[in-house]
Amino acid sequence: MAAPTPATDGHRTIWHSEDGTLLISASPARPRTNAPSRSSAAAASRFALALAEVLAGRRPAAQLAPLSRPSTINELVRIQAERPFTGARLHSLHIGNSASARSTEVVACYEWRPGGGRGARLVCVAYQMRRTDSGWVCRELTIGVPNLGRADAHQPR
């Protein structure tokens, strides 16, 4: 009797055998990931708090240079010049698991009240921290800037 041949439908493995029996296994195991290390979590938290000060205009973006790549700083300078998020404060921080002990993905959400008004908006920032010889550095940064109802917000660029 030959060994069963496996097939997958994306969610489970299905085994067909010559005698017609059908075996279905549960979902395939997810790749093993490591919980964030204390040092990566601490670095991600420090960066998130410093980033809140940059977004709020209380700290120049250039002060993050030791913790970031130049492209990250350039993006922050551009955002700060375009629209400082005056009064931004850290609302939530999610530090993701990583398959590598040398990197971690982070999503930080900041609460901001445009013009100091009553309606709060959330500005979300996703970034990746990487371990280098000199410590943890922000390698990639994406800022989700909210649509504030400007007339040009829906115009193609």
pLDDT tens-place string over residues 66-121? 888 888 888 888 877 777 677 888 999 999 877 677 888 999 999 887 766 777 78
Reported confidence tier of residue 155, pLDDT bands at 50, 70, 90: very low
| Helices 70-82, 38-55: inter-axial angle, 10-degree rounding | 30
Sorted by where each starts, the structural domains of the chain and their CATH numbers stand as: 38-144 (3.10.450.240)
SS3 label, residue 28 = coil
Residues 110 and 123: their CA atoms lie apart, in Å, by 5
pLDDT higher than threshold 90 for residue 11: no
Percent of the chain with pLDDT over 70: 66
- What per-residue confidence (pLDDT) applies to 154? 40
Compute the Cα dihedral for 43, 44, 48, 54 and give only its sign: positive
> How would you class 57 by CB atoms within 10 Å of its CB: exposed for 0-12, middle for 13-18, buried for 19 or more?
middle
Residue 3 has pLDDT above 60, yes or no: no
Q: Note the pLDDT of residue 64.
A: 86
Give residue 21's Cα distance to chain centre.
45
Higher-confidence residue of 152 and 1: namely 1
